[in-house]
Structure 1
Amino acid sequence: MENFVVSARKYRPATFRSVVGQQHVTTTLQNAIVSKHLAQAFLFCGPRGVGKTTCARILAKTINCEFVEEHVRQGRKVSELLQARPDIVPAALHQAPDPDNTPFELEACGQCSSCRAFQENASFNVHELDAASNNSVEDIRSLVEQVRYAPQQGRFKVYIIDEVHMLSNAAFNAFLKTLEEPPSYAIFILATTERHKIIPTILSRCQIFDFNRIRVDDIRGHLRFVATQEKIGAEDDALHLLAQKADGGLRDALSMFDQMVTFSGHNLTYKDVVQNLHILDYEYYFRLIDALLSENLSATLLLLDEVMQNGFDLHNFVVGAAEHLRGLLVCKDPITVQLLEVSDGIRARYVQQAQAAPLAFLLSALNLVSQCDREFKQAKNQRLHVELMLMKLAYLNGAVQFARDLTAGPAASTSNGEAKKKTSVAPAAAPNGATAPAANGLLSTNGTAEAAAAYGPNGGSAAAQTPVPSNIQPSKLSISSAPADPEPIVPIESGVEELHDTPSIEDEASTEVPTTRQMRDTVPHVEIGRPSIAGHEPGQPAVTAAPLPPRPGIAAPKPISLGTKLPGLGSLKEMQAQREQQAAAGKAPAEAESSGPATGLPAIDEALLQRVWAELTQERKDHSLSEYTILNRPFQANEQHLIVLRVDNPIQEDQFNEFRAGFLGELRRRTGYPRLNVQAEVVERIDTGRKLYTSSDKMEYLMEKFPMLAVMKQQLGLDTD
């Protein structure tokens, strides 16, 4: 069986002209040879499979070619070489009418002894070293020893060191001197895929050439050349997909090409490539966008299930959706269609679908898909995360249209783009319970009808055009003329600007307090010491309950009627005044509670008070030890039912004030003394003036306080320390 040679080796470029996608490098090297400005060291950097080692071999072959030596360095004319040594002249110059004036690119002839030896891998002037397996100082020392010997044939000895970034730091340092001052016949070509791993002292001694990723069109053209040479029929879409999958590497593209030819034979189709390489092709995404534009959520979810059933990764699906949306976005403008690196047939489908997709939809969808891509790794249920994104995309087109209609409609007349609030008038309840239509005016924020009048459609007053029902008293409806100019914008604390008071839809009848009949509470109230509800005794005829007396320090609320105008959003000063009154009213109970001594109070049962206090203290011990510590101390109530609780510091005073209200209420309820009051007072400590520093001072202080310590110390023979 004949040995098979892969396409990457069989069709490896042998001249500068045949190198794919690196014209900026090949042109520079050719000019350097012609101008005799050849550097002593080169560094070729770039990703895998872009031609670094290939260009190094072509350079080594070209500089030792006999035609280059005779024509460039010796200066002999082409016509003279055709007569003296026609075997070393390239075939293109043999048929030229004027070979001396015919422009041509400098290439190796491929016919001389040096070129034939290179092609047969038998050249003694080219040495290749794999730095991945020869990265020690000893390997570099052996290389330096070889550099000392001049070439036996030809002018230059070329040393190609591949994957040079794998050398150790010691090997790099051992190579510095030779790389900086090599012999005149030695040329070093270093190749690497990771330039950042090479030390700066090596970089400064080399001419650096950066190899680019090969464009998709260039790879596709080279694949077409190989397919033609091998007599293989291949679709353009199939070759384009292979070139795109190679990610800029020609060697990867040729390897996949050989694999596809083995799978499908001599007829390579797009379907075979998609099936064999397991690629999410464009068809999935075209179907996806069609379903999203028609808001067909069921078809979208079924498409996702089909993708998963075929074994594709969900993250790759999300990334592919983002790339497809990006392709549609660039196809919206004919100028940017060239940014889409696809075949002509696929590009036509992109343009067609881009015309059907609104620009707002594409931008919003691309934002949602990008967000899903960022959050995919953190999602616990990744399929649900992707499905949620698809649900948003399915109804995105309708949401965008709704927002556009809302913005362009008649409701959007305010300067900030917000829809104007619709004013509606709720029917106000009449005093006798009948429902009466309110005047065509505005309602305040609390639901009462304000008499700031609104004009009718003919410019007249609404009160003049709308009849007022008879069951509404005129005193409860105040009507005023509307201003000729619009009301000024009043700044609101929340940042929202209103042109008028916001109407309320609440029924005014709900604000009236209904009249109720209740039993009289004969048990003394905890706070005020008298029945809490003025009613009737049990067994007596029921009477209408009188209004409750106001609690100390709290102002009674004013009754609300139709004629009362409550403060709206515009009256900021009135609202501020009400807040200050409420804040002052909140402090009133504490002040009124200790305003002065009470007279005529019954004597306190000290045993009952101590027992209840101890019970409450013990109950506090279970959930808060600090409260137990504060309460567990002696106390005594005076004739005014005031208990002064002496605490140790202001911190305990603040802690007691936090739970004082609940504790005092429970103390009053259990003892039956509603006027009991407890106040915390910090005990002033008396400074004795004596400070204890040493162990002896502390021991003397303890023996004074506890005399038994002196006896124990003497009997046991203990020392102070």
Structure 2
Amino acid sequence: MLTTAAKPYRVLARAYRPSRLADLIGQDALVRTLGHAFGSGRIAQAYLLTGIRGTGKTTTARIIAKCLNCIGPDGEGGVTAEPCGVCEHCTAIAEDRHIDVIEMDAATQTGIGDIREIVDNVRYAPASGRYKVYIIDEVHMLSQQAFNGLLKTLEEPPPHAKFVFATTEVRRIPVTVLSRCQRFDLRRIDQEVLAAHLLKVATAEGAEIEPLALDLIARVGGGSVRDALSLLDQAITLADGTVRLDQVQAMLGVVDKGRVVELLGHVVEGRAGEALALFGAMMAEGGDPRAVVEDLLGLCHRLTRDKLDPNLRDPDLEVLAQRVGLAPLARAWQVLLKGLEEIGRAPDAIAAAEMLLVRLACMGDLPSPAELMRRLEGGLPAINPGPATAPAQTPSPAPSAQIAPPPARPTPAEPAPPETAPAVLPAMPQDLPAIVRALRVGGEPLLAAMVHHNARPASIEPGRLRLNWLPGTPAEASSRLAQALQRLTGRRWGVDRAPSEAPTLAELDAAHRQKRMVEVRDLPHVRHILEAVPGATIVGVETAGADSETQASTLQEGIGTP
């Protein structure tokens, strides 16, 4: 008894691969441009298709090959934007056996020898089709010699030859190749469009899927049709019936959106104990720590957008958006982004994620700089005690108390230049600080900085300057300085080297700043802040008013922890 062999199963990503330009989803600009080009006969000698994985680059290349070689059901057709799919050329291309459509994987065939074979054979006419079509996938993997060997042929190919390149890293392709190609950027597929496509495929397969499960697959697909179809294929196989949301969540290692919202609420409000308990429950149910952190990142972004644009508000996030401010969200984003890298490097991803949540919870309990100042002025503790419900935790690093500085003022040795600079100075500079000021006023900021940091003065007289330049100073420093001073003062200057152990202006400034920091440490309100914030240090001082003898000092760059 004869039995018919069962048809081998084809994964959804291959079974539902588009065969016409009109079947491509989310690439309207490409479809419209190529359709007009093939309809009008304006066919380029080379096309470059770029985009993320799974957006249809190789599929589009094969469709282009069909459009160029299709002869129609009656065998009399020409180049068309709507290949018939039934003629011998369309069938052969669909089955990857057309003799005139040559596909090359540049990831494994990267050398000049592989390109030389193409260059040698491109001159010969097609064996059966209208055009020879060379499809080079991952073209950015070609060596520099291979690209160079292809340039001449790519610029002036035979009339019967066309090239189609596909790449995910267009920046690695030489500009000489880019300029010879017509480029198309295949965009990520919008989540709504991708979900609609997945629903169509699921219906064609006779599978039922919950809308929320479909949306989750489309979101995790990240704009890649192939990735999303592969996930759908896996979900259908797993469910063996209706695909439910909980099944897809377990398959992907992601957690329910409501629990992610609850977790973010815990950490930004400083409830470390509740956050760890909820995170532990997520992990016990098969959650992936990296996926949870990525969900928290996405939630921080959505909340920020909701708070800035009322038209984008999500009703499910309304309560959390009212409880969390923009500043905590911005801090959480930065910490989560850094923590995502740490999870990838840590030997235990779950432990790294737990420590990340503790860090976020400790940060969420810190006051803002403005709130810190209000507490200090009112005699209240600078830092709130830890949450009562949280277990004993390692103390968080001491906070950084930032005091807003007054408008920036110049240092005594370096006054700010006026907005307009005269061509010739009204008075002759008498000392090195005056020379530095003159250079800045006269449009020589780099030369002024060089004198400020590298020059030890030996003697200064009108028209004559003797300096000891520090090692590493350019040899032409003296001549440049003499020319600049002559231009600014209207008289000739001599600048000579001479031994000197005098301090540079930069060293004088540093000594002055150190002296001021020592003096300001004994001011009552500064001492109060240093005592209230453990580990704080003074890192800079600036005079608050014009009268430095009577006005109080404020911190130039704030008080920070080491």
State the TM-score bracket (shorter-chain normalisation). Answer: 0.5 to 0.7
Aligned match of 1:129: 104
Aligned match of 1:208: 183
Aligned match of 2:236: 261
Corresponding position: 1:388 with 2:358: yes
Aligned match of 1:166: 141
For the Cα contact (< 8 Å) 1:322–1:370, is it kept in 2?
no
Match of 1:37 among 14, 36, 42: 42
Q: Deviations over 1:219-264 (max 9, x none)?
A: 2121111011111111222122112212221111111111111111
Aligned match of 1:110: 85
For the Cα contact (< 8 Å) 2:48–2:181, is it kept in 1?
yes
Aligned match of 1:330: 305
Corresponding position: 1:349 with 2:324: no
Task: Report the Cα offset of residue 106 of structure 1.
Answer: 4.0
Change (3 A) 1:147 1:331: same
> What's the C-alpha RMSD, in Å, of the aligned pairs?
3.8
How many Å separate the matches in 2 of 1:313 and 1:154? 51
1:300-319 matched pairs, under 5 angstroms: 300-310=275-285, 312=287, 314=289, 316-319=291-294
Task: Report the Cα offset of residue 28 of structure 1.
Answer: 1.3
Task: Report the Cα offset of residue 320 of structure 1.
Answer: 2.9
1:467-482 matched pairs, under 5 angstroms: none
Corresponding position: 1:3 with 2:8: yes
Change (3 A) 1:43 1:172: same
Task: Report the Cα offset of residue 383 of structure 1.
Answer: 6.0
Change (3 A) 1:203 1:322: closer
Secondary structure of the residue aligned to 1:332 is: helix
For the Cα contact (< 8 Å) 1:322–1:366, is it kept in 2?
no
How many Å separate the matches in 2 of 1:369 and 1:161? 40
Change (3 A) 1:5 1:382: closer
Q: Letter of the aligned partner of 1:183 in structure 2?
A: P
Q: Deviations over 1:30-62 (max 9, x none)?
A: 121122221111111222111111111111111
Secondary structure of the residue aligned to 2:331 is: helix
Match of 1:198 among 154, 167, 173: 173
Aligned match of 1:279: 254
For the Cα contact (< 8 Å) 1:220–1:240, is it kept in 2?
yes
Identity %: 35
Secondary structure of the residue aligned to 2:103 is: strand
Change (3 A) 1:197 1:89: closer
Q: Deviations over 1:268-293 (max 9, x none)?
A: 11111110111234232122245468
Q: Letter of the aligned partner of 2:359 in structure 1?
A: M
Q: Deviations over 1:307-332 (max 9, x none)?
A: 44456565554443232122223233
For the Cα contact (< 8 Å) 1:293–1:357, is it kept in 2?
no
Q: Deviations over 1:599-634 (max 9, x none)?
A: xxxxxxxxxxxxxxxxxxxxxxxxxxxxxxxxxxxx
Aligned match of 1:57: 62
Change (3 A) 1:153 1:335: farther
How many Å separate the matches in 2 of 1:228 and 1:496? 77
Q: Letter of the aligned partner of 1:189 in structure 2?
A: V
Change (3 A) 1:335 1:112: farther
For the Cα contact (< 8 Å) 1:45–1:209, is it kept in 2?
yes
How many Å separate the matches in 2 of 1:40 and 1:32? 12
Task: Report the Cα offset of residue 122 of structure 1.
Answer: 4.3
Aligned match of 2:447: none
Q: Deviations over 1:664-714 (max 9, x none)?
A: xxxxxxxxxxxxxxxxxxxxxxxxxxxxxxxxxxxxxxxxxxxxxxxxxxx
For the Cα contact (< 8 Å) 1:297–1:394, is it kept in 2?
no
1:687-702 matched pairs, under 5 angstroms: none
Q: Letter of the aligned partner of 2:252 in structure 1?
A: L
For the Cα contact (< 8 Å) 1:331–1:354, is it kept in 2?
no
Task: Report the Cα offset of residue 140 of structure 1.
Answer: 2.3
How many Å separate the matches in 2 of 1:176 and 1:291? 59
How many Å separate the matches in 1 of 2:178 and 2:58? 18
Aligned match of 1:525: none
Secondary structure of the residue aligned to 2:47 is: strand
Q: Deviations over 1:328-360 (max 9, x none)?
A: 23233664528xxxxxxxx5423x3345424x2
Task: Report the Cα offset of residue 130 of structure 1.
Answer: 2.1
1:670-681 matched pairs, under 5 angstroms: none
Match of 1:371 among 335, 339, 343: 335
Q: Letter of the aligned partner of 1:257 in structure 2?
A: L
Task: Report the Cα offset of residue 370 of structure 1.
Answer: 2.1
Secondary structure of the residue aligned to 1:155 is: coil
Change (3 A) 1:240 1:393: farther
Change (3 A) 1:356 1:63: same
Task: Report the Cα offset of residue 65 of structure 1.
Answer: 2.4
Task: Report the Cα offset of residue 12 of structure 1.
Answer: 0.3
The alignment of Structure 1 onto Structure 2 pairs a total of residues equal to: 378
> Structure 2: where are the runs of 5+ without partners?
1-5, 381-518, 529-548, 551-562
How many Å separate the matches in 2 of 1:175 and 1:245? 39
Change (3 A) 1:304 1:421: closer
Change (3 A) 1:55 1:306: same
Corresponding position: 1:229 with 2:207: no
> Structure 1: where are the runs of 5+ without partners?
68-84, 91-104, 339-346, 413-417, 423-492, 503-571, 574-721
Change (3 A) 1:215 1:264: same
Q: Letter of the aligned partner of 2:358 in structure 1?
A: L
For the Cα contact (< 8 Å) 1:135–1:167, is it kept in 2?
yes
How many Å separate the matches in 2 of 1:495 and 1:394? 30
How many Å separate the matches in 2 of 1:124 and 1:421? 86
Change (3 A) 1:495 1:36: farther
TM-score, L = length of structure 1: 0.47
Aligned match of 1:459: none
Change (3 A) 1:88 1:367: farther
Secondary structure of the residue aligned to 2:98 is: coil
How many Å separate the matches in 1 of 2:74 and 2:119? 38
1:222-621 matched pairs, under 5 angstroms: 222-291=197-266, 298-310=273-285, 312=287, 314=289, 316-332=291-307, 335-337=310-312, 347-350=314-317, 352-354=318-320, 356-358=322-324, 360=325, 362-368=326-332, 370-371=334-335, 373-374=337-338, 377=342, 382=352, 385-392=355-362, 395=365, 403=371, 419=377, 494=520
Task: Report the Cα offset of residue 369 of structure 1.
Answer: 5.0
Aligned match of 2:71: 66
Higher relative contact order (CA closer than 8 Å, sequence separation 6+): 2
Q: Letter of the aligned partner of 2:136 in structure 1?
A: I
Change (3 A) 1:494 1:228: same
How many Å separate the matches in 2 of 1:88 and 1:231? 39
How many Å separate the matches in 2 of 1:317 and 1:115? 46
Q: Letter of the aligned partner of 2:93 in structure 1?
A: F
For the Cα contact (< 8 Å) 1:126–1:157, is it kept in 2?
yes
Q: Letter of the aligned partner of 2:209 in structure 1?
A: A
Q: Letter of the aligned partner of 1:364 in structure 2?
A: P
Task: Report the Cα offset of residue 420 of structure 1.
Answer: 6.7
